[in-house]
Amino acid sequence: MRDITIVTGTRAEYGLLKPLIRKINESENFNLTLVVTGMHLSPEFGLTYKEIEDDGVPIAYKIDTLLSSDSSEAITKSIGLGLISFADLFQKLKTDLLIVLGDRTELLSVCIAAMIKGVPIAHISGGETTEGAYDEAIRHSITKMSYIHFTATLDYTKRVIQLGESPDRVFNVGAIGIDSIKHLKLLSKSEFENSIGFKLNKKNLLVTFHPVTLEKNSARSQFRALLNALGELVDTTIIFTKPNSDKGGRIIIKMIDEFVRENPRTSISFDSLGQLRYLSSLQFVDAVVGNSSSGIVEVPYFKIPTVNIGDRQKGRNMPESVINCPPSQSEISKAIRLALSEDFNMKIENVRSPYGDGTATEKIFKVLRDLKIESVKKIFHDINNTV
């Protein structure tokens, strides 16, 4: 049996990885070591490792690296703490392959420690661009540390190869987040309302907004513009999911709490909806508003609009259901009106997404099953020498 280690640090990332984790855990081909870190272990962010335990997936190690601050200094120190902790882990852990998804800061620590130890890395969701966040640099750094790459679109596949990775180690499998949508039994409307303790209205919006980490001190002003735009709405329920532990995230959390306190009949917030409630909500809301990657990758599957604010996701492949707008109150209001309009919703009834057909887990599993790694040495694939 091949020993595979998967590391997860956030609720959203675990939700995406869940089908793959379950399949590997149940397989006779692999022995799974699941490691949780980051936000999963933070009371402030809901102690979401408990959701993993509730799913019946055995957690092998809990590595606590998150400091109680969202300053750049604290995040940098958390990366350093993670590097030390994961160096110790890989010293004692027998593993044939490490699997990571995405671009979070804690994964940078994980991958540096694994690379130095000589552990092969399989990276999911490489090649994507998010020009407004330092996730961009982390993602491409992880690509260069990784040996196997599972990308979500053809454009992202080409970008990973552009970074010098050999085409025979890059696999376009689609977005793994679509897999759960296709196979998860979602809640009915009444079940969803009971689960959140709140009744839906004539119109309903799901809002997730994260700091734009490459902009200085923009979180407060940008989120204030969004809240002002939301405050103009009538007969509309607003469901907030709170941001990750990014630089500037606590400002947004505080502003969400104040808005909900002032508008208790029309708004509600959650540290984490969890995968089932989050995906179930997409059946009943009229639009998703904010700057989360989910609005671009998973939400279009439900044929509903996404209002994508600012530059945080700039550079991603965008389906036609995504309305991009600057982070000003007037532009956000204009975009929300368009998203709620009958004409726009008719236009996106048959929207097609570039993110695959929900079979990423099967494709990844097949590659992992047949994979043979004799050395982690890599030759830089120079596209300038390709005829």
Q: Mark whether 71 and 169 lie in a shared domain.
A: yes
Domain count, the chain: 2
Q: What is the mean pLDDT of residues 73-93?
A: 94
Residue 352 within a domain: no
Give the residue from 34, 32, 42 showing the smallest Cα distance to 11: 42
Mean pLDDT of the chain: 93
- Same domain? For 221 and 246 the reply is yes
Mean pLDDT of 291-311: 95
In angstroms, rounded to a whole number, what is the distance separating the alpha carbons of residues 159 and 40? 31
Mean pLDDT throughout 51-74?
Answer: 88
Report the candidate in 229, 235, 234, 232 with the shortest Cα–Cα distance to residue 332: 229
Q: Are residues 367 and 343 in the same domain?
A: no
Shared-domain flag, residues 340 and 378? no
In the predicted model, what is the mean pLDDT of residues 140-168?
97
Asked whether residue 298 falls in the same domain as residue 365, the answer is no
Q: Summarize pLDDT for 113-143 with one digit per residue, the tens.
A: 999 999 999 999 999 988 877 889 999 999 9
pLDDT recorded at residue 259: 97
pLDDT higher than 80, residue 70: no
Q: Are residues 158 and 245 in the same domain?
A: no
Reported confidence tier of residue 370, pLDDT bands at 50, 70, 90: very high
Chain centroid, CA 364 distance in Å: 18
Residue 385: pLDDT over 80: no
Q: Are residues 326 and 209 in the same domain?
A: yes
Is 34 in the same domain as 108?
Answer: yes
Q: What does the pLDDT look like over 310-367, one tens digit per residue?
A: 988 998 999 999 999 999 999 999 999 999 999 999 999 999 889 998 999 999 999 9
CATH number of 222's domain = 3.40.50.2000
Residues 87 and 204 in one domain: no
Whether residue 353 lies inside any domain: the answer is no
Over range 217-223, report the average pLDDT: 86
- What domain range is 245 assigned to? 186-347
Per the domain annotation, does 181 fall within a domain?
Answer: no
Q: What pLDDT score does 213 carry? A: 65
Lowest mean pLDDT among 7-21, 57-71, 324-338: 57-71
User: What order do you get walking across the sheet with 322-325 strand by strand?
Assistant: 267-270, 236-241, 203-208, 287-290, 306-309, 322-325
Domain identity same for 262 and 288: yes
- Sheet of 97-101, strands arranged across: 61-63, 30-37, 2-8, 97-101, 121-124, 148-151, 170-172
Question: Which stretches within 202-293 are classed as H helix?
Answer: 219-231, 249-262, 274-281
User: In this structure, are 147 and 275 located in the same domain?
Assistant: no
Distances in whole angstroms, Cα of residue 121 to Cα of each of 24, 146, 215, 223:
16, 5, 31, 36
8 A C-beta contact, residue 66 and residue 249 = no
% of the chain with per-residue pLDDT over 70:
98
- Beta carbons of 183 and 275 less than 8 angstroms apart: no
pTM check: above 0.75? yes
Within a domain: residue 273? Answer: yes
Q: Note every long-range contact of 367-374, with CB atoms under 8 Å and residues 24 or more positions apart, other chains counting.
A: 367/148, 367/150, 367/171, 367/173, 368/2, 368/4, 368/24, 368/29, 368/30, 368/97, 368/122, 369/27, 369/29, 371/97, 371/148, 373/96, 373/97, 373/120, 373/147
Return the pLDDT at 187: 97
Query: At residue 344, what are phi and psi to the nearest 5 degrees?
Result: -65, -40
Question: Between these two residues, 214 and 338, which has the higher pLDDT value?
Answer: 338
Q: Return d(Cα 142, Cα 104) in angstroms, integer.
A: 10
Asked, for residue 64, whether it belongs to a domain, the answer is: yes
**Segment holding 3, helix H or strand E:** strand 2-8
Weakest mean pLDDT among 132-136, 221-225, 237-241? 132-136
* Statement to judge: residues 200 and 115 lie in one domain: no
Question: Any idea how long the chain is?
Answer: 387
Q: Which position has the token pair 């407060």?
A: 220
Cβ atoms of residues 149 and 169 within 8 Å: yes
Whether 65 contacts 109, CB under 8 Å:
yes
For residue 29, what pLDDT is reported?
92
Task: Provide the 8-state DSSP code for 68.
Answer: S
Handedness of CA 317, 323, 329, 331 (dihedral sign): positive
Residue 126: predicted pLDDT: 96
Please check whether residue 304 is in contact with residue 284, taking contact to mean a CB–CB distance below 8 angstroms. Answer: no
Q: How far apart are CA 385 and CA 333, in angstroms?
A: 49
Whole-number pLDDT of residue 214: 66
Q: What is the pLDDT of residue 387?
A: 42
